Amino acid sequence: MLGTKALEILGQEISKSEMDNYISRIKFSEKGSNSQRVIFIAPNELIAKFIQTKYANKLANIYEVHTGIKPEVLITTQKANLSIKSKDVNVKEIRSQSSLLNPSYTFDNFVVGDSNQFAFISSKQVASNPGKAYNPLFIYGSTGLGKTHLLQSIGNECLEHGKTVICITSEQFTSDFIRNLENRTMNKFKEKYRNCDVLLIDDVQFFHKSEKTQEEFFHTFNEIHAKKGQIVMTSDKPPKMLKDFEERLKSRFEWGLMADITPPELDTKIRIIKTKCEFDKIELSDDIIEYIASNMGDNIREIESAIININAFANIMRQDITLEFAKNVIKDQIKEKKEAISLENIIKDVAHEMNIKPSDIKSKNRTKNIVEARRICIYLAKTLTPNSMPQLASHFGLKDHSAVSHNIKKINNLMENDSYFKARLEELKNKILSKE
């Protein structure tokens, strides 16, 4: 049994501060653990609850990679551990544990916006009619935008309808393949993967590391597809952009439907945060929610991690969650900033965000949306660059510094009276500042 070694492996996947502050405080319980249930002892209930929420599934995944079985991972206290009784685990339970399906990932708690609507609708249709609607379904987009949530939602719904579901990452598929190849048990491997009703592969882009794995997955794909089984894959890029992949495999990926997920809009991020807070019974004020949505970037996993950290620190320190408290907790998670910002970059980014031409901003056009974009540029230029008022007046074709001051005052008034506008502006500022 991995035991303490699993904690060391987890330490390689998380930050040093997370390892020192949390994981190093728990100990493996050899007496209470078995192949289906692994128990770690925490010093108190708050730490136990926090680690259970944030790291238990990661530890279970580590066990699955190294043992082939995904156990139930419990983080508890010494006192609570005494009351935990071992339970019988039947074959059906073991089989369900050998996949990565997390029952908390459902379509009901997936927040839909313009950035993910097509992928959401496509996934729902696949889950309702596996093997017939779109096969394969290939969902792609940057890290942390909800691809895994949709993948697992498909799996959970198919499982509810009695389908045999395997949900696994490409790296775990590779590890399983190599282990069975070395043990000369490939018949067992083929029986497992080629006879399922639904095969869900997360992060398929990592198949590029192994030609043999690609060949095996190619044959697995063909077998499942021929039997009308459903295949769903996620990736950080579309098939045509996958490097070091066989053309015949990329061609298979394009057989069905490709659905992309783009970074969420500000209002979608706000709704995601509110949904997460409601689900975890965490109370955050609107100004804290808007601050997180505006400053944490687009990675939903990082945003959810920030919420968990804020709540955990508040519980441990027994403090109310104020805006200043929240800012202090997540300050290390805010992205690095650029040292020098040019006026042209500000104009270009604002124009892109507001769907107008950069040349419109410096023109005499008085259309409402262009006037607003121009004012935002002037405000951000004064905030983010060392240019003086006269320099800004000259650059934006204004009469003098008083015109610059007038535009900045208009933006300040809007920010005072419209919290959503303020959050939008804060998000835009952080997009300009964030390192690429």
Is 98 within the bounds of a domain? no
Q: Which of 242, 260, 278 is a domain's end point?
A: 260
Give exposure, 190-225, as e/b (b: 16+ Cβ within 10 Å). Answer: eebbbebbbbbbbbbbbbbebeebbebbeebbeebb
Is 91 within the bounds of a domain? no
DSSP H or E run through 320: none
Is 92 within the bounds of a domain? no
The pLDDT value recorded for residue 81 is 59
Q: Which of 60, 76, 92 is a domain's end point?
A: 76
170-182 vs 211-226: helix crossing angle, rounded to 10 = 100
Domain count, the chain: 4
Q: Which amino acid is at 61?
A: N
Is 120 within the bounds of a domain? yes
Shared domain for 285 and 347, answered yes or no, is no
Structure tokens at 50: 């926090």
Shared domain for 44 and 158, answered yes or no, is no
List C-alpha distances in Å: 392 to 110, 189, 385: 44, 67, 10
Is 275 within the bounds of a domain? yes
Residues 238 and 260: their CA atoms lie apart, in Å, by 8
Say which residue, 94 or 16, is predicted with more confidence: 16
Residue range 78-129, pLDDT digits in tens: 765 555 544 444 434 434 433 567 777 889 989 998 889 999 999 999 999 9
Asked whether the beta carbons of 153 and 127 are under 8 A apart, the reply is yes
Domain limits for position 403:
343-434
Shared domain for 277 and 296, answered yes or no, is yes
Shared domain for 214 and 270, answered yes or no, is no
The response to whether 148 counts as a known ligand-binding position is yes
Is 101 within the bounds of a domain? no
- CA 114 from chain center: how many Å? 17
Q: Which of 244, 230, 271, 211 is nearest to 134 (CA)?
A: 230
3-state secondary structure of 340: coil
Asked whether the beta carbons of 309 and 334 are under 8 A apart, the reply is no
Shared domain for 232 and 274, answered yes or no, is no
The response to whether 190 counts as a known ligand-binding position is no
DSSP of 3-38, one letter per residue? THHHHHHHHTTS-HHHHHHTGGG-EE-TTT--SSEE
The pLDDT value recorded for residue 231 is 96
Shared domain for 229 and 333, answered yes or no, is no
The pLDDT value recorded for residue 221 is 94
Residue range 301-354, pLDDT digits in tens: 889 888 988 988 888 888 899 999 999 888 877 765 555 688 888 999 899 888
The pLDDT value recorded for residue 325 is 92
Is 194 within the bounds of a domain? yes
Shared domain for 157 and 255, answered yes or no, is yes
The response to whether 297 counts as a known ligand-binding position is no
Q: Which of 76, 93, 122 is a domain's end point?
A: 76
The response to whether 155 counts as a known ligand-binding position is no
The pLDDT value recorded for residue 92 is 41
pTM of the model: 0.62
Return the CATH number at 175: 3.40.50.300
Asked whether the beta carbons of 350 and 361 are under 8 A apart, the reply is yes
Shared domain for 332 and 350, answered yes or no, is no
Residue range 289-310, pLDDT digits in tens: 988 988 888 888 889 888 988 9
Confidence tier at 186 by pLDDT (50, 70, 90): very high
